[in-house]
Amino acid sequence: MKAVESNILTVSSSEAHEKGLSEQAKVFALIVGLGSILMTFAALTSAYIVRRGDGKWIAFDLPSVFYWSTLVIVLSSLSMIAAQVAAKRDELLLMRASLIVTIILGCQFLYLQFQGWKQLVADGIFFAGSSSNPSGSFVYVFTGFHGLHIVGGIVVLMIALIKAFQWRIHKRNMITIKMASIYWHFVDAIWVYLFVFLSMLR
């Protein structure tokens, strides 16, 4: 009997170890992917600086709505933190509510970015064409490329929310919400960086 119990404990320990290694591999793969995204944005900002130094550069104020979208994206990071903390404490209702709030704020961010594009057009700042300027084109590229990653983040959050309603996220199974949190905080930080960068180098 003791031998059977020992074998069960050994198998259980082995499965837990394998699960830990699998989760580490997933997180590592995510970080590698985020590294490539970071390098892309770094290349774009470097190209911005080089092109700005070549002349024929029209300076303009960023759409005022971008200030609001920055506030919204920061708030979404706070709600994402609340969701992860709630999961660790097995406060599952709070976790679900926080995920829903984060998704809503992510959608609100995208809406505000679109309104920012409309404001740019109203101010005569176009992406392409005879009336366009590289300074404006870069803003569209930055915000558009970042917006695509926000869309990806919302999809990830939706998957996490579905799993949360299926009781598949709790303090003993945190990998989904952990990876969603890492990705969301990353894209949030990228926007804050872009906003500060564009505000300082007009």
Q: What is the CATH number of the domain that holds 148?
A: 1.20.120.80
Q: Is the pLDDT of residue 127 over 70?
A: yes
In percent, how much of the chain has pLDDT > 70?
A: 90
Residue 2: inside a domain: no
Higher pLDDT, residue 98 or 25 = 98
Residue 96: inside a domain: yes
Q: Is the pLDDT of residue 145 over 60?
A: yes
Residue 23: inside a domain: no
What pLDDT does residue 15 have? 40
Does residue 91 contact residue 99 with C-beta atoms inside 8 Å? no
Higher pLDDT, residue 128 or 186 = 186
Residue 154: inside a domain: yes
* Residue 95, SS3 per DSSP: helix
Rounded to an integer, what distance in angstroms lies between the CA atom of residue 160 and that of residue 144?
25
Instruction: Give kind and range of the element (H or E) at residue 175.
Output: helix 175-200
Residue 135: inside a domain: yes
Residue 29: inside a domain: no
Q: Is the pLDDT of residue 69 over 60?
A: yes
Residue 114: inside a domain: yes
What pLDDT does residue 202 have? 73
Q: Which residue range is the domain that position 158 belongs to?
A: 34-200
